[in-house]
Amino acid sequence: MIVTPSLVYIHMPKTGGMWVAYVLHNIADGHKVRAVRRHGPLADVPSALLEGRILAGSIRDPWSWYTSPWQHLRSGVDGPPILRAIGDGDQSFNAFLRGVCDNDFWPALTPEQRPGWPWPPNLGGGLYTSMVRWFFGMPFQVNALIDLYQLREGLGELIGQDIDTGRFPPKNSRLDRPATAVKNPHTLYQNDQVALVQQVDGETAFALGYTEPFAALQRPVLRLEGV
């Protein structure tokens, strides 16, 4: 969670938040909120910070989002046991996706495994829906959400200045993904998997404006009523 004189940024994992935090720290007098975890949800925001500030976050479509925690877990030291727990022994993307789209997957994770990832409470739908509701509320209690695929444009719009791509090379955009990221998320999906995400997270995706799998929003920033 990052605060600037005009903005509070809530970092939902796997939506480009590290780059956003870096930019805010360097050009918008941003700093971390003490005593609040990096991936702190909406409920963690101190009420005193809301006065006169925009409450914002970043977001992406559920289909591409699911590939990122799977890749993160399979690449880390502590991740494979979590993947095996979720996938009933199977660490494949298919097993992971079916596990986290099932509301019964939460009990599969031991207390020792949970601290390694900001697992939300079970708030319905798949893991994506629970994450969105935990971080941003449902109905949404934030003022604005930046589309991951248009991160530079959206953040620049919110802070009211252009972001120098020479000084801050674009990250996590449609054309630039980290070396460890899944370059083409759609290649991990079969038709039945696309339909599964639509079934469990389609309502949330539609509310955010993601009407097509793997697509960007029509505009860089989704403006909301918020708090």
Summarised one tens digit per residue, pLDDT across range 96-128 is 999 999 987 777 788 888 877 889 999 999 999
Nearest to 55 by CA among 33, 23, 34: 33
Task: Say yes or no to pLDDT of 17 above 70.
Answer: yes
Q: Is 139 exposed, middle or buried (0-12, 13-18, 19+ CB in 10 A)?
A: exposed
Task: Say yes or no to pLDDT of 172 above 90.
Answer: no
d(CA 199, CA 101): 9
Give the tokens for residue 124. 């319905």
d(CA 93, CA 112): 23
Give the tokens for residue 179. 């070396």
Q: Name the helix (H) or strand (E) containing 208.
A: helix 191-208
How confident is the model over 173-224, as pLDDT tens digits? Answer: 554 555 556 788 999 999 999 999 999 999 999 999 999 999 999 999 999 9
pTM more than 0.85: yes
